Amino acid sequence: MQGSLRLVNGENGKETVSSNTRTVPGKSWSFRILYFFLIFLVLGLGVCILSMNMIRYFGLRNMVLRESSSLEHCSDNINNLECWLRPPSNLMHNMNDTELFWRATFAPRMNEYPYKRIPKLAFMFLTRGPLPLSPLWERFFRGNEGLYSIYVHSLPAYRANYSRSSVFYGRQIPSQVTEWGKMSMCDAERRLLANAMLDLSNEYFVLLSEACIPVRNFTIVYRYISKSRYSFLGSYDDRGPYGRGRYNKGMEPEVTLEQWRKGSQWFEVNRELALRIVEDKFYYPKFKEFCKPACYVDEHYFPTMLTIEVPRLLANRSLTYTDWSRGGPHPATYGKNDISKEFFDKISGRKMCVYNHRLVFLCQLFARKFAPSALQPLLSLSSEVFGY
């Protein structure tokens, strides 16, 4: 309710009227809140639009940088052939697997090279951490520079401390956690292959573990692999519970029971087969979904896929000796007390195998599993027994 107050001015007797009308406080604050809300909304929309554009810009920029960093040695002279042939000087990069596999599939389609190409062996070590038998491998590689490359996939948290003079210095690749018997193991193997394929001189790819040793010298290993008409990957039809018994009908129609194969995880493949493994998107989803423990995907994925696709290129055996005679899910491990000349004569035996369509006595070039305690006896025998 409104009213007025009449006042009398003492000097001139005039009356003044003072209104006692009051503004309602609620209405004033409502307008202020609405005002600030509108300002906040406009600012928020502006920040969102700016952020989206920055993400889009920097995301594209990072992709360009990732690709350009792998080819940085060609930036000075793009017309120079040598720069395209030089392998990456630093194995560490920030490409994810999708980008890496795509990049690794870049390959010449002409079999004749316009330069003198010396094919190299890529030795790929799949490890948890350190390589306790590295001194033995150092002896094996000594004096054969230019004929090999080394790649190490370890747990991501592991940091190697090799000296600069070591052949393993700076040879770790960007890695991820792997679990035994699961698809992450095959992912790691594909990751090793893809990184090794970035060097165009690598023609043959050997998968090894930290428990593997070479049982022949480098010259024999190089000649045996490079002269072979086939790649060495075990692939056979096991009709028992640990072969066909692991098959899941969900694999159909990509893989039938009759096509299901089993083989050793440790392989040697040439560049053509390495490319097929890295670029595969047809079989991979089925194995990831339907081959889980007690189906061990690292024993079935590559043997099955390559037997279906290119059986003519497989020797159907591994180059790595492994002893399963003790039973259980893991092969025998040899320690200090097992190592002797007689021991290696026994595991080499007189077993014959097929090499380029003829029978030979030389069947294995590597062996596993050897414990760290076996290192010193192995070093003592390496010259006499292995020839290095």
Q: Exposed, middle or buried by CB within 10 Å (0-12, 13-18, 19+), for 190? A: buried
pLDDT of residue 109: 80
CATH classification (class only), 91-104+115-386: alpha beta
Residue 19 pairs in a beta bridge with 4
Residue 214 pairs in a beta bridge with 366
pLDDT of residue 31: 65
pLDDT of residue 99: 96
Contacting residues for 205 by C-beta, under 8 A, at least 6 apart = 121, 122, 124, 192, 193, 196, 197, 268, 269, 270, 271, 274
Q: Look up tokens 């595969």; give the residue.
A: 280
Q: Is 131 helix (H, G, I), strand (E, B) or coil?
A: coil
Cis before residue 346, ω within 30 degrees of 0?
no
Distance CA 385, CA 169 (A): 27
Residue 231 pairs in a beta bridge with 314
Distance CA 376, CA 382 (A): 10
Which pairing describes strands 358-360 and 213-214: parallel, antiparallel, or unpaired? Answer: unpaired
Kindly list the distances between the CA atom of residue 309 and the CA atoms of 24, 277, 314, in Å, as whole numbers in the listed order: 84, 11, 11
Q: What is the pLDDT along the chain (388 residues), one digit of tens a residue?
A: 444 444 444 444 444 444 444 444 555 666 677 666 677 676 767 666 665 555 444 443 443 334 434 444 555 555 677 777 778 778 999 999 999 999 999 878 887 888 888 999 999 999 999 999 999 999 999 999 999 999 999 999 999 999 999 999 999 999 999 998 899 999 999 999 999 999 999 999 999 999 999 999 999 999 999 999 999 999 999 999 999 999 999 999 999 999 999 999 999 999 999 999 999 999 999 999 999 999 999 999 999 999 999 999 999 999 999 998 877 778 999 999 999 999 999 887 778 999 999 999 999 999 999 999 999 999 999 999 999 9
pLDDT of residue 13: 43
> Which stretches within the chain are classed as H helix?
25-70, 81-85, 97-104, 134-141, 183-197, 218-226, 271-279, 284-290, 301-309, 341-348, 375-381
Q: Is 248 helix (H, G, I), strand (E, B) or coil?
A: coil
Cis before residue 253, ω within 30 degrees of 0?
yes
The domain segmentation of the chain, as residue ranges, is: 91-104+115-386
Structure token digits, residue 4? 């007025």
Structure token digits, residue 104? 């690794």
Predicted model pTM:
0.80
Which pairing describes strands 358-360 and 148-153: parallel, antiparallel, or unpaired? Answer: unpaired
pLDDT of residue 8: 41
pLDDT of residue 386: 96
The radius of gyration of the chain from alpha carbons, rounded to an integer in Å, stands at 34
Distance CA 306, CA 162 (A): 36
